[in-house]
Structure 1
Amino acid sequence: MTDPLTALTDAGVSIWLDDLSRERLTSGSLARLVADQHVAGVTTNPTIFAKAITGSDTYTEQLGQLAARRVEMDTALREITTFDVRWAADVLRPVYDATDGVDGRVSIEVDPRIAHDTERTIAEAKALWWLVDRPNLFVKIPAAKQGLPAISACLAEGISINVTLIFSLARYGEVIDAFHAGLERARENGRDLASISSVASFFVSRVDTEIDHRLDKLGSDNAAGLRGKAAIANARLAYQRYEQACVTERWQALHQAGARPQRPLWASTGVKDPSYPDTRYVVDLVAPEVVNTMPEATLRAVADHGVVPADSVHGTYEAAQQTLDDLAELGIDYDDVVQVLEEEGVAKFDASWDHLGEQLARTLSTTPATASGR
């Protein structure tokens, strides 16, 4: 019997790990997941790094070196995170080469505190691209309104971008437009479009968390019947938008010039509500040319007992739209939901970054300086 992770890969889903730490790298954990569990990429975010750096002593030596150099906290934070991402990119480089650059990618996010500042986001993305200095890097830029022109500007410079924190179908449409605009500018600049890559990270489970909370407040049988249906419906309609974008004349012109499509990436696929099956945001979103980035617990759950269909997205669009229509009839304001989720998403990453910065500053002030190296 085919194992579920092989079935998922055969269905056209790229399996990425939504986690990274120095411990994963030094222990060989990441390398084993790549070799044995079909992991073909890695995503990170400020919360992941906050957990990794504050929960391990594997950073002690580098912290000592940073203390000896008396670097500022922001610089120290970037040196630590780019070190891990560079190392992970080297681990994934064989996958990148074997897939001709489609997979084998590692993502690092711009400082979330500047998500609403276009020029600073562009400057930070360029700095990260230079600091990591690996062709299989993705720089993550939040899909806030001010991030859209930054996405286009960075793509135009040849920087591969992971557009993150997408919740709404309307914003996803704007992301697609920003992607096309960036590639058009890159083409005008004479850049090789085949060397530029992008994914659009559409968040899943958080949509159910927010809408289920609102449904529970209503307390009706109709409301209870819609619990847990919104996130998958929303993501399936996003995939429909992806397919629609791929047949436009605008995209076909770019594709003929060598451009690669901006694949949808399902993010936030760990189940938040324990009453739901722990594999639902993977097995219910199987379609060709997508990425599913999952925490290791979700990855292990799929490997253990996931029932993976050949395709669980095509043929569902009408039902998915009906789900959103039914929610609207109950008074669930879709536009308000996705706006709240976008603002909360940026705020949570802000808080993680600030918390990590405060802890790192304290650690640097108390860590004995050392000049020894790895």
Structure 2
Amino acid sequence: MDDVSELERQARELLRPEVYDYYAGGSGGEVTLRANAEAWRQVRFLPRVLRDVSAVRTSVRLAAPLNLELRTPVAVAPTAYHRLAHPDGEAATAAGAARAGALFVLSSRSSRRLEDVATAVTDAAGSWWFQVYVMRERGLTAGLVRRAAAAGAQALVLTADTPVVGRRALVPGGGVISERDYEDNLGPLEDLSRARIVPASLADIGWLGEISGGLPVVVKGVLRADDAAACLAAGAAAVIVSNHGGRQLDQALPTALAFPAVQAAAPGRPVLVDGGVRSPENVLAGLALGAPLVFVGRPVLWALACGGSDGVRAWLEGLTEGLAHVMALAGASSVAALPGLGTVAGPGVARAG
């Protein structure tokens, strides 16, 4: 389904109102939530002409230490508690992503045991990373990381933009997240504060690599050039330009506008991006600016709610097919030919320095 608005409308009809609000909402006045999608429209393309685009390839390869080969540069961002959308939860999402050839990033706030999700990915010959929060009881974090490594995660994604949870509007009725949602992965917790997110530090990049047995660490939530440089100097394999989908600091810079400066601070290193990506043109914009992977979040949840694993696969495949079409229009027969074909126009673009 190409029309994300229609997909969201259908999902909203199927989901409990408080669940839809939990997934769809942002922080504060939702300025960043709205601006993320709008900012991709500021990217302008510089298409090549008279190029052979009779066979467009959407496959992408990321070199060591990430060592990824994927059929699509569209990747699934980490989002929490998929069982709120579908009984099979993250296992269904992961299987659908894997069958579509997309990287899946599993949230540490998963509502399915990570081993079950890993099996779903492996059975579909897919690739997955594991997203990490540093929790108040660091042993809980370490335990999850070690289990993820043992289950076959290919990288860790450290979320860096959540020193505290964003100031989000209260969901009417409350009670969306239950203790059971924690227990599937963390075991019974008499004191839920043990799993409370606490501020991470640059030192945690090395710590996560060490306790995981050497998995590469990707830092998610970077909007500044100096932060990107610091993360890479501390051992990060890559960074993801992200503002948490507009769910953390409201009025933070939209990711499309932050991306150019962050990329300039990381020459030769993978700089990935998410935030408000809804269409083939949005994906093309991220790739044309230089991101090797572009992540999608909420639309995958809408696809899961509407069609389970098959719905996720169909939506991701449709997005990739649409990407191939607009790549041809841009005069690019491969993802590798896209960097440099886009520029961000208008005010608000972050500059390196």
Same fold (TM over 0.5): no
Larger Rg: 1
Question: What band does the TM-score fall into relative to the shorter chain?
Answer: 0.3 to 0.5
Normalising by structure 2, report the TM-score: 0.42
Relative to total residues, which structure has the larger helix share, 1 or 2?
1
